[in-house]
Structure 1
Amino acid sequence: MELSSKFDAKSIENQVKEYTKSISVRSLILDSDKPENIRFIEGPPTMNGIPHAGHLRGRVIKDLWYRFNTLKGKKIEFNGGWDTQGLPVELQVEKELGVTGGKTEAINKFGIEKIVSECKNVVKKYNEKWVQVDEMLGMSFNHDKAYWTFKDEFIEREW
């Protein structure tokens, strides 16, 4: 990385991102022979909207905990998680579909299949935003191994 007399924050951000990807920090940690192995399971945010300052505060604290313990010599699997079920997602779908009368109106007007499909679309849309924000903040979450509450393996393991 070369210093320039002109400050260009975006250029610096891009250089840091490229460098971080090139050294593969995650594999340096997970492929190490550190004696203490910890698996962190995130209490997942619900995928019904974009992250706000309160969400980010919590995620930054988790990330700092991860980094601190990594520096202390612990080998930590730091996988994210996504809450994709429940009322918040359904309410967001009803809002986006323009439903004002509640579940009965939504089911009668659109059918269960359409509502389920829209729930999946909402979850996907907001997950992309969350991952984008995590990357912008330089978070250490492993999104490739994140758990999703709608997937069978999560339901079978947790329920």
Structure 2
Amino acid sequence: MTGRKLSLLAGAGSAGLLIAALGFQAAGYAPCELCILQRWPHVAAVLIAGLVWLTGWVRAFAVLGMAAAGIAMGLAIYHSGVEIGWWPGPEHCSGGLGNIGAMSASDLMARIEAAPVVRCDEVSWRFLSLSMASWNAIFSGILAVIWGLAAIRGRKTV
């Protein structure tokens, strides 16, 4: 398979992950802040694949696509670790309130009321014992490999 086709395949893979995420959201699985953050590198990868399609320049764009997929994978691994309890997540979406002993009752109430509803450290859906973040990490890693192959095989094809 040519580098250009591999780039388009990887971009389509990111588009598929985005469509799946939006489908889960439409089905009532509200995303947490880390879930939404994981989507942005996939948006970038789709745009990069579009640039490959428009320009025919594969190598430089494929390296950027590989970086985007790698960032998505890293964010997904971080989120999976937060869900499993390997490390703490961001305080504002993992239940932490900071130093509550130093807060007044009104400040504490304001922080509680401003807290997001969807927590980053709770899994809302699993398949084969893996959360959506874990699946995103796996698929993003596969997409990073595909982008890497595209960079190796790529050349200007216009």
TM-score exceeds 0.5 = no
Provide TM-score, normalisation by structure 1: 0.25
Structure with greater contact order relative to length (CA < 8 Å, sep ≥ 6): 2
Q: Which has the higher helix share?
A: 2
> Normalized per residue, which structure has more strand?
1
